[in-house]
Amino acid sequence: MAKEGADMTEETQFMIDTNPGKEPEHVESSGDAKEMRAVVLAGFGGLNKLRVTKKAMPEPQDGEVKIRVKACGLNFLDLMVRQGSIDNPPKLPIVPGFECSGIVESVGENTAGFEIGDRVMAFVNYNAWAEVVCTPADFVYKMPEEMSFAEAAAFSLNFVAAYMMLFEVANLREGMSVLVHSAGGGVGQAVAQLCSTVPNVTVFGIASCSKHAAIRDSVTHLFDRNVDYMQEVQKISPEGVDIVLDCLCGENTAKGLTLLRPLGTYILYGASNMVTGETKSFFSFAKSWWQVEKVNPIKLYEENKVIAGFSLLNLLFKHGKCNLVKSVMDKLLCLFDQKKIKPVVDSLWALEEVKEAMQRIHDRGNVGKLILDVEKSPTPLMASDSTETSEAGEEEEEPEEDNDSKERMPFIH
Amino acid sequence: MAKEGADMTEETQFMIDTNPGKEPEHVESSGDAKEMRAVVLAGFGGLNKLRVTKKAMPEPQDGEVKIRVKACGLNFLDLMVRQGSIDNPPKLPIVPGFECSGIVESVGENTAGFEIGDRVMAFVNYNAWAEVVCTPADFVYKMPEEMSFAEAAAFSLNFVAAYMMLFEVANLREGMSVLVHSAGGGVGQAVAQLCSTVPNVTVFGIASCSKHAAIRDSVTHLFDRNVDYMQEVQKISPEGVDIVLDCLCGENTAKGLTLLRPLGTYILYGASNMVTGETKSFFSFAKSWWQVEKVNPIKLYEENKVIAGFSLLNLLFKHGKCNLVKSVMDKLLCLFDQKKIKPVVDSLWALEEVKEAMQRIHDRGNVGKLILDVEKSPTPLMASDSTETSEAGEEEEEPEEDNDSKERMPFIH
């Protein structure tokens, strides 16, 4: 196995093949207008598969917008992509990242609705973690004036997903109850805020104890993810809950279905339990596929229950629902203007700090969204701290020798 | 196995045990105020397990309404109950039937909202097919003046189920598409009418060819249930449909899920495919349970799909959702007043004709609802027709010898 720093030959060779103009890592600025800095994933596996390198500057195609990126969102899914723990993993190398905010630098032919200089946020089918991104105008939205670039990068995916699950897939109404896993994460915080726009909604949040102080006010009831939350919820609400939002999968699917009230809806919108200490292989997705409990439609009939799956990225990039997403974004921007919702930013990281940021989301240390701030310089290493962070997907790796893996102090928002 | 007519000893003995006041069958009127006529199911199996007999007059308990029944609805589920093809079949003997209309004859203590003489329709947890029924006031609704008793008995279950599936479980909106199996049945016709209250909804109906002429105008596209409807639907709508309503189960579940658009909802609201020629045993439910294809939540996630089960009777009698149903009934009665919906009655039958009525629903000969008209006298037998009707659930039975099984001419509405 290639050791980063100590033995980079394999990966270096690989990058030379695909990025002939590449420069050494940690380039601080993109002096050459034909090149840009980007985070590149060179192979599936641990943190050492990521690096910052120069890539050729993309140019907008027909119908596309070219964006000078200011901030990018980091999601748990990016970690699963890095491990290859998703269905149909992409062909490598790629630049990861599905969302960003920035300024329109140019537009392709037949691209309507945007002008150079527009402040925008956008979905990208990979490639977001770079200084410049091109994406179809259908996936680009103008930012409100009052929204910062970091907030915009924290907004799109989390709030659109939360809104569509609560109001499109389920039908959240006055007096209902919602259970949300990872209540401290980006989607969890968006769910909590959107629930508060409907009268008298009870939110059961599940989160690590370490986050409880920070998020206690955002939910009605808060439970430790390590306790038997089923029993706790049933104590408070013996009838169960109306909506369960689960990004974990595994045993939580059966628990979620059990907790549903009649006519209640369980929505699976992620499968982060697939990222475990034991697996980081291509097969972990398939493995989980077989391990997850199947649902009998006749049981749903007997119990008057609904089970749904929701993947915003598939909806956008596979299922062609960008018009629907645009209409949802319009509603969300109204709520933002009315100051009813506001994205929660956990911390800002330089592109060069992507490994530390990923470690933080892996350890579920974040409250709200992790943001890659493209213009930020890496925070100097703490001289006092040379402890290696242990990352669950990396047991088989040699310890990383390069400075990147030393802990940095993030810019906590 | 007991042979009806030829050898009734076993069932007679049975009825004497439980109904001490019983009279011979086919009592034309209930002269004795303490008794009433009712259809009784004495054992699970074929048509010969049903008979009309006298039973003790029920009296309303606390919170109940006593109804002098005018008309009862006959549903496919009643056929499954008769065969014992449902989960948790009831302890026999019972009076079947889940819905009726009639006039309030008295009310129990602590029963608010109803007065003697009110024209009402009601849900009953069995016992509907009788001259008199008592049921909690929570399940009773006042009838509009313009609604006939037959229409009322055709209204409650079908329209409430159709409405809740389209608007509570799914979220039918302008421009969507709906596929409905058994489009000619009571629920199917209610679905078609409710879809027409929303602009620009496409309805794909599946029904036996024999019904096509009668129901062609109620749906947008009509397919023969014996053709490959999937291919036909995909030809017209390559993207699939937004809502699939399936009362058949079996292979239609997988087909329905395949036909769904992203964010589409498949609703299983019955399992009439469980009633086959081969089985009529207690085990047929369990058998189908294992045969039906299970659904992987991760597949729903990948495909952005929703699968739901809907059982109105469980919702009412097990899950305590009578307030929600009442609010739905209010909305439906508004639509009825506005002449936007109108129950379709297929035919009226005397209690004594229940076997012929059941045969008709088994053969899927009905367009709209079959009604038991309590005040109707049995239609004289057709002298020219002495053919035995063959009923799929009865292969193991001796041919029935009593006159009941001879074909009658129903009163077609």
Q: What's the average model confidence in pLDDT over A135-158? A: 97
Phi, psi of B179 (to 5 degrees): -110, 130
Contact residues, chain A, for B268 at CB < 8 Å? 297-298, 300-301
pLDDT the model gives residue B28? 44
Confidence of residue B254 (pLDDT cuts 50, 70, 90): confident
pLDDT of A95 > 70? The answer is: yes
Cβ <8 Å between B304 and A295:
no
pLDDT value at residue B9: 35
Comparing B14 with B337, which gets the higher pLDDT?
A: B337
Which of A95-109, A204-218, B56-70 is predicted least confidently? A204-218
User: Over the stretch A231-245, which tens digit does the pLDDT of each residue have?
Assistant: 999 999 999 999 999
Average pLDDT (A122-128) is: 97
For residue A380, which amino acid is it? P
> What does the pLDDT average to over B32-38?
85
**Out of A168, A262, A321, closest to residue B315 by CB:** A262
Whole-model pTM: value is 0.85
Predicted confidence (pLDDT) at residue B11 exceeds the cutoff of 60? no
Q: Chain B: give the shortest CA distance to residue A386, in Å.
A: 40
The C-alpha of A167 sits at a distance from chain B's nearest C-alpha, in angstroms, of: 10
Inform me whether the pLDDT recorded for A256 exceeds 50: yes
* pLDDT for res B282: 44
**Residue B17 pLDDT grade (very low, low, confident, very high; cuts 50, 70, 90):** very low
From the CA of B204, how many Å to the nearest CA of chain A? 22
Nearest to A154 by CA among A324, A24, A349: A349
How far apart are alpha carbons A187 and A205 in whole angstroms? 12
Quote the CA–CA distance of B313 and B317 in Å, as a whole number.
6
Q: Which residue has the higher pLDDT, B334 or A397?
A: B334
Interface with A, mutate which of B257, B298, B311 (most A CBs under 10 A): B298
Which residue on chain A is closest to B172 by alpha carbon? A168
The type of residue at A272 is S
Average pLDDT over residues A255-262: 94
Interface test with B, best of A160, A252, A300, A327 (most B CBs within 10 A): A300
Q: Spell out which chain A residues touch chain B, with contact meaning CB-CB distance below 8 angstroms.
A: 87, 168-169, 171, 249, 253, 261-263, 265, 268-271, 288-289, 292-311, 314-315, 319, 321, 324
> What residue has token string 């909804």?
B201
Q: How far apart are the first and last CA of chain A?
A: 37
pLDDT, tens digit, for every residue of B380-393? 655 444 334 444 44
Name chain B contacts of A311, Cβ cutoff 8 Å.
301-302, 304
Q: How confident is the model at residue A286 (pLDDT cuts 50, 70, 90)?
A: low
**Hey, are the CB atoms on B302 and A311 less than 8 Å from each other?**
yes
CA distance B143 to B280: 37
Cross-chain residue pair A306–B308, CB shorter than 8 Å? yes
Band (pLDDT 50/70/90 cuts) for residue B163 is very high
Q: What is the pLDDT of residue B52?
A: 96
Q: Please list every residue in chain B whose beta carbon sits closer than 8 Å to the beta carbon of residue A284.
A: none
Higher pLDDT, A409 or A121: A121
| Residue B77 per-residue DSSP state | H
State residue A289's pLDDT score: 56
pLDDT band at B248 (very low <50, low <70, confident <90, very high): confident
> To 10 degrees, the CA torsion angle through A327, A332, A336, A340?
140
Closest listed residue to residue A307, CA positions, set B169, B174, B128: B169
Q: What percent of chain A has pLDDT over 70?
A: 79
Indicate whether B66 pLDDT > 60. Answer: yes
**Average pLDDT in the B91-101 region?**
97
Cα angle A259-A232-A174, degrees, rounded to a multiple of 5: 60
Mean pLDDT score, A14-21: 37
State the pLDDT confidence band at B10, using cuts at 50, 70 and 90.
very low
A306/B314 Cβ within 8 A: no
End-to-end CA distance of chain B: 37
Check whether A288 has a pLDDT greater than 90. no
pLDDT band per the 50, 70, 90 thresholds, residue B29: very low
A121-135, B262-276, B336-350: least confidently modelled range: B262-276
Please give the C-alpha separations between residue A300 and each of A34, A265, A289, B268, B289, in angstroms, as whole numbers: 56, 11, 20, 8, 11
Confidence check: pLDDT of A260 > 80: yes
Say yes or no to pLDDT of B7 above 90. Answer: no
The model's pLDDT over B343-379, given as tens digits with 9 standing for 90+, comes to 999 999 999 999 999 999 988 889 999 999 999 988 7
pLDDT reported for residue B383: 47
Choose from A145-149, A358-362, B30-34 the range with maximum mean pLDDT: A145-149
The answer, yes or no, to whether residue A399 has pLDDT greater than 50, is no
Give me B135's structure tokens. Answer: 């049921």
Report the number of secondary-structure helices (H) and strands (E) in chain B: 12, 16
Contact call for B309 and A300, based on CB within 8 A? yes
What's the confidence (pLDDT) of residue B294?
A: 86
Q: Which pLDDT value is given to residue B78?
A: 94
Tell me the count of A-B CB pairs closer than 8 A: 135
Compute CA B235 distance to the chain's CA centroid, rounded to the nearest angstrom: 32
Question: Range with the lowest mean pLDDT among A65-74, B103-112, B286-295, B316-325?
Answer: B286-295
What's the per-residue H, E or C state across chain A?
CCECCCECHHHHHHHHHHCCCCCCCCCCCCCCCCEEEEEEECCCCCHHHEEEEEEECCCCCCCEEEEEEEEEEECHHHHHHHHCCCCCCCCCCECCCCEEEEEEEEECCCCCCCCCCCEEEEECCCCCCECEEEEEHHHEEECCCCCCHHHHHHHHHHHHHHHHHHHHHCCCCCCCEEEECCCCCHHHHHHHHHHCCCCCCEEEEEECHHHHHHHHHHCCEEEECCCCHHHHHHHHCCCCEEEEEECCCCHHHHHHHHHEEEEEEEEECCCHHHCCCCCCCCHHHHHHHHHCCCECHHHHHHHCCEEEECCHHHHHHCCCCHHHHHHHHHHHHHHHHCCCCCCCEEEEECHHHHHHHHHHHHCCCCCCEEEEECCCCCCCECCCCCCECCCHHHCCCCCCCCHHHECECCEEC
Chain A residues with beta carbon closer than 8 angstroms to that of B314? 262, 302-304
Nearest CA in chain A to B169: A263
Residue A337 pLDDT grade (very low, low, confident, very high; cuts 50, 70, 90): very high
Greater pLDDT, A166 or A7: A166
Distance of CA A323 to the CA centre of its chain: 21
Mean pLDDT over each residue of chain B, to the nearest integer: 84
What distance lies between CA A367 and its chain's CA centroid?
13
